[in-house]
Chains A and B, each alone.
Chain A
Amino acid sequence: MNHTYKKIPMPIRYLINTALIALLLYAGNAVISSGITNRAQSSLVLQVGIYIILAVSLNIVTGYLGQLPLGHAGFMAVGAYTCGIFWKSAAGSALPAPAAIVIGLVLAGIMAAIFGVIIGVPALRLKGDYLAIITLGFGEIIRILIINLSGITGGTPGLMNIPKRSSFLVVYLAVAISCIAIHMVMKSRHGRAILSIRENEIAAESCGIHITYYKVFAFALSAFFAGIAGGLYAGYQGLLTPSGFDFMTSINILVMVVLGGMGSMAGSVIAATVLTSLPLALQSLNTFRMVIYSVLLVIIMIFKPSGLMGTYDFSLSHLLEKLLNIRQPRENSPAQTADKKAGKRNG
């Protein structure tokens, strides 16, 4: 090792990323306010944002923790109704709009996280198929509760006249904050604890990791952001009906995560964007949407079972570092001989 690998220091990385986020916000705002886009396109952008948060948050439990829950739409519903009811009742009050937006979304997240803990504690004692079935049941229970608590939720006809507060700016900031917060948690001792459970539960526990705590924590964190996405959805639709949170919604989100690559945030973002945009892009083929979905899924699962991105996560800083060091390959790739030796024997 004569040459040292040039690295971009942390503060500069953060600066680069902040600049990128600001630039995207500016560009997005400019495009939307310029009137180039039609109504369908600008509302699609909001929908994409909401699904990005849903996919990225589900990825915490499926990708990072390694469990398979089927009730993500349930948490979304809890957040949506919490936020919808709050915004409706705050509409007449003196509360300034930005404050109402923030409080509504945070409340949505907290409420969903509480449900996450309530369902997580019993569900996470179970594994695999059992966890899937319990969470599936939970999603349905939430939907039926919403139908029956019609005094609060508006029942089957729905919760109407919710102020449409999910502007591009609000959704964009929520997406950015959610992704950054999840990223920051995952790159910490808490995130590593979650990953260690996915990798090997027994080893994790013998390293002093409190398995149950971190499972429930991951579940609650995932529910929190699903709740925020639900809140945004309420302010985007202006109308909430229980049928918007059925089993198929949970499956759609799961499809995004699996397609993008379990454990890859970039994968979730890309898959959520592509799959949400697909119907509009293929408007004429809309009836075949589900067929295309399924065919796409089958093809990807056959040729790339780990999803589009695998567990790879895109990082602009790493890309820049690679460019800086173009003449010096990074010395972290394990020697091929090492792999051969490792194959000789197994535990």
Chain B
Amino acid sequence: MDKMAWMPSNALIPERDLQKLPILDIRHLGIDFGGLTAVDDFNLTIGRTEIAGLIGPNGAGKTTVFNLLTNVYAPTRGSILLDGRSTAGKKTYQLNKMGIARTFQNIRLFKALTVEENVQIGLHNAMRYSVGDSILRLPAYWKQEKQAHEQALELLSIFDMRDMASWKAGSLPYGAQRRLEIVRALATQPGILLLDEPAAGMNPSETAELMDNIRKIRDTFQIAIMLIEHDMNLVMGICEGIAVLNYGSIIAKGTPQEIKQNPVVIEAYLGKKGGAQA
């Protein structure tokens, strides 16, 4: 397969990811909701350790792209290769096993369960013991549960949330709920992490901390991260490549510098709304 042939046209891949099979290769992706074309001819390639941004005005179709990538909605058109394998016809849980994990714009935690249990559910497939092992409390149960407990606390400590392990997830402050969603997604050991507006509702200092942590996650786990965000400081600060979506179509792709200066992007953002906040 001539992997390199299509790369330059689609990819925003940083140097370190060149020559490597991209984690995500999206071609001509599209979906119609009845008469409405929510996403159309979406082409994007994401490198294995890239931090990519997906931006665009409200209703542009960003969340819909995430839902297509995780097969919450089946695409009407196009194809997705995750780590070189087609995602067509796969169930959402299978895609997670194949290496894609996500957070949600409107937080979806297991609210009545504890913080630790939330993370342990993310670790579900990392554990292998059977129902019989758990009823009889065989060694496999104890060993893997102990591991999961330690792993959960370790993951929580990325965001300094170790001490909150026994809190109910629903009682966490808003920012911590967003961080817990990231930890839970990370627990599933993905190759690519999709973050849907991770900084929404956070104050500037929380956002700055989040930026550091997103970079830290990429560096420690060596995974790709694709994020949707309206906070331009965050996007321009940490994304290595950015795609701009408007009315379901990509109108620009490039580095933060290129995107900032792109007249089409400026038009889409400022032209209609007349002075949107940066």
Contact = CB atoms under 8 A, between A and B. Distances in A.
Interface of A: 181, 184-185, 187-193, 195-196, 199-200, 202-211, 217, 311, 331-332, 334, 338-339, 341-342, 344-347
B128 to A, nearest CB: 9
A263 to B, nearest CB: 8
A335 to B, nearest CB: 9
B112 A311 contact: yes
7 contacts: A199-B110, A202-B108, A204-B121, A205-B91, A210-B91, A210-B93, A347-B107
A22 B101 CA distance: 47
A256 B120 CA distance: 31
A196 B110 contact: yes
A189 B72 contact: no
A181 B135 contact: yes
B96 A207 contact: yes
A331 B109 CA distance: 22
B135 A207 contact: no
Contact of B102 (A189, A190, A206, A347): A206
Interface string B118-161: 00111111010101011111000100110010000000000000
B87 interface: no
B91 A207 contact: no
A326 B136 CA distance: 33
* Size category, B interface: 35 or more
Contact of B177 (A187, A195, A342): A342
B110 A200 contact: yes
Contacts of A195: 110, 112-113, 117
A200 B96 CA distance: 16
A188 B134 contact: yes
B255 interface: no
A191 B135 CA distance: 11
B249 interface: no
Given A190-B134, A342-B177, A207 B111 contact: no
Interface string B68-97: 001010000000000000000001110011
Contacts of B111: 199-200
A311 B117 CA distance: 15
The 8 residue pairs across chains A and B that have the minimum distance between CB atoms: A188-B134, A347-B106, A199-B110, A208-B96, A203-B108, A332-B166, A334-B171, A341-B173
Contacts of A185: 131, 134-135
B174 A342 contact: yes
Interface in B157-186: 163-164, 166-168, 171-177, 184-185
B64 interface: no
A188 B143 CA distance: 12
Given A199-B111, A203-B108, A189 B167 contact: no
Between B104, B117, B123, B173, the greatest number of chain A beta carbons within 10 A of the residue's beta carbon is seen for B173
Contacts of A199: 109-113
A184 to B, nearest CB: 5
B112 A203 contact: no
B237 interface: no
B121 A200 contact: no
A192 B134 contact: no
B204 interface: no
B96 A206 contact: yes
A47 to B, nearest CB: 27
Contacts of A188: 129, 131, 133-134, 141, 145
Contacts of B49: none
Nearest to B121: A196
B274 to A, nearest CB: 26
A206 B110 CA distance: 12
Contact of B174 (A311, A331, A345): A345
A345 B96 CA distance: 29
Contacts of B174: 341-342, 344-346
Contacts of B96: 205-208
B124 A334 contact: no
Contacts of A211: 93
Between B102, B121, B123, B174, the greatest number of chain A beta carbons within 10 A of the residue's beta carbon is seen for B121
Between B101, B117, B134, the greatest number of chain A beta carbons within 10 A of the residue's beta carbon is seen for B134
A208 B172 contact: no
B105 interface: yes
A334 B168 contact: yes
B120 A189 contact: yes
A210 B96 CA distance: 10
A308 B220 CA distance: 47
B43 interface: no
Given A184-B135, A208-B97, A338 B173 contact: yes
Given A205-B92, A206-B92, A190 B131 contact: yes
Given A189-B134, A196-B110, A347-B104, A342 B124 contact: no
Contacts of A344: 174, 201
Contacts of B185: 206-207
